[in-house]
Amino acid sequence: MNSDTILLAHGGGGLLMRELVEGLIVPGLSNPALDRLDDSAIVKAKGNSLAMTTDSYVVSPLFFPGGDIGKLAVCGTINDLSVAGARPLYLTLSFIIEEGLPTDTLRKVLQSISETASEAGVQIVTGDTKVVDRGKADKLFINTSGVGEIIEGVDISAANAKPGSHVIVNGPMGDHGIAVISKREGIEFKTPVTSDVAALWGLIERVLDVCPEVQTMKDATRGGLAAVLNEVASSSRAGIVVREKDIPVRDAVRGACDLFGYDPLYVANEGKVVIICPAERSDAVLKAMCAHPLGREATIIGEVTNERIGRVLMETNIGGQRIVDMPYGEQLPRIC
């Protein structure tokens, strides 16, 4: 850990965050469950495997096209359990509220939490509320932590991707980040961009039904697709090649990225999963995904290789190849 102070960029899902987590946070706490650094920890309780996860949400603004901090907090934690191959069961809910928050704002967020949890079939079983003085927080922060039951026979990890396997995503990249930043900056587009925030368990359950051999699943949140692919390449000691033409990005998102100077591969999603499975099963996975409302635009975007270990390469639309680097710091602060 080189920096003397914590920077916004340390929360960005990139190299700086990895330095903070791996250099400072994890060493003193080391244990096998933590050291995997996957989206959920796999633990044993009375002989059964459970997944546990936690996330704090600090998105600004609280309400954005397609969602709000409440929906985000429920979906994000459901998704972290789901990509570990765990059926989400129970969530905890903790609020840090800035004094002066309109009660009606909290009421709307709670309504959204309630609807999202109910639709996804998870129960919010316990909670906590803290209030801090004006100016000591930004309206509302939410932590959700969750427990899920690992589906028997699956073994999913960022470290499990094997050369030859296919890389699949369930739809276009970058919607969430652009929706939030557009709202925050007060910019309107002719075609409005809506966050993709969604609970992915229903989709992932179908994938695991047809393909329990899935090697890796990650939701592409902070740092976007680029961060996920780099993490997998690094953890699995493999290379990954993706094809630019096959990576879905909406025109409106591409336009917004051009305007803001972002690369859609680095923009956060909140309803997108990257799935790596044996090549011979990818058609079955794709078919299952396309039959689900959250997977209609699913597509195979590339392969795992045994060349350029730890690297992600992209075959560009003009026939070249470029390295897709791990993001360094923070492209879009406070998008989740």
The two structure tokens encoding residue 71: 């929906």
The reply to whether 154 sits near a copy of itself by the rule CB under 8 A is no
User: Judged by CB, which is closer to a copy of itself: 29, or 318?
Assistant: 29
Helix (H) or strand (E) holding 17: helix 15-20
Strand-strand pairing, 123-132 and 86-98: parallel
Among 15, 54, 154, 308, binds a copy of itself (CB under 8 A): 54
With CB under 8 A as the contact rule, which of the stretches 53-61, 239-247, 255-263, 275-283 interacts with a copy of itself? 53-61
User: Judged by CB, which is closer to a copy of itself: 110, or 259?
Assistant: 110
Q: Is 137 exposed, middle or buried (0-12, 13-18, 19+ CB in 10 A)?
A: middle
Among 133, 185, 188, 251, binds a copy of itself (CB under 8 A): 133
User: How near is the Cβ of 166 to a copy of itself at its closest, in Å?
Assistant: 28
User: How near is the Cβ of 146 to a copy of itself at its closest, in Å?
Assistant: 9
- Show the DSSP H helices in 262-334 as ranges: 282-290
Strand-strand pairing, 140-150 and 86-98: antiparallel
With CB under 8 A as the contact rule, which of the stretches 137-145, 191-199, 202-210, 269-277 interacts with a copy of itself? 137-145
Among 15, 65, 137, 163, binds a copy of itself (CB under 8 A): 137
- According to CB under 8 A, which residues from 56 to 95 bind a copy of itself? 56-58, 60, 89-90, 92-95
User: Judged by CB, which is closer to a copy of itself: 106, or 210?
Assistant: 106
Evaluate whether 26 touches 35 at the Cβ level (below 8 Å): yes
Among 63, 65, 119, 149, binds a copy of itself (CB under 8 A): 149
User: How near is the Cβ of 221 to a copy of itself at its closest, in Å?
Assistant: 11
The two structure tokens encoding residue 222: 């902070």
Question: Which region, left, alpha or beta, applies to residue 20 given φ > 0 means left and ψ of -120 to 50 means alpha?
Answer: alpha
The reply to whether 185 sits near a copy of itself by the rule CB under 8 A is no
Question: Which region, left, alpha or beta, applies to residue 267 given φ > 0 means left and ψ of -120 to 50 means alpha?
Answer: beta
Helix (H) or strand (E) holding 165: none
- The rounded distance, in Å, linking the Cα atoms of 257 and 285 is 30
With CB under 8 A as the contact rule, which of the stretches 138-146, 164-172, 209-217, 227-235 interacts with a copy of itself? 138-146
Residue 119's CB is within 10 A of a number of other CB atoms, namely 14
The reply to whether 100 sits near a copy of itself by the rule CB under 8 A is yes
User: How near is the Cβ of 7 to a copy of itself at its closest, in Å?
Assistant: 6
The reply to whether 328 sits near a copy of itself by the rule CB under 8 A is no
The reply to whether 123 sits near a copy of itself by the rule CB under 8 A is yes
3-state secondary structure of 132: strand
Residue 301 Cα distances to 72, 220, 322, angstroms: 26, 14, 15
The reply to whether 143 sits near a copy of itself by the rule CB under 8 A is yes
Residue 296's CB is within 10 A of a number of other CB atoms, namely 11
The reply to whether 201 sits near a copy of itself by the rule CB under 8 A is no
The reply to whether 43 sits near a copy of itself by the rule CB under 8 A is yes
User: How near is the Cβ of 61 to a copy of itself at its closest, in Å?
Assistant: 12
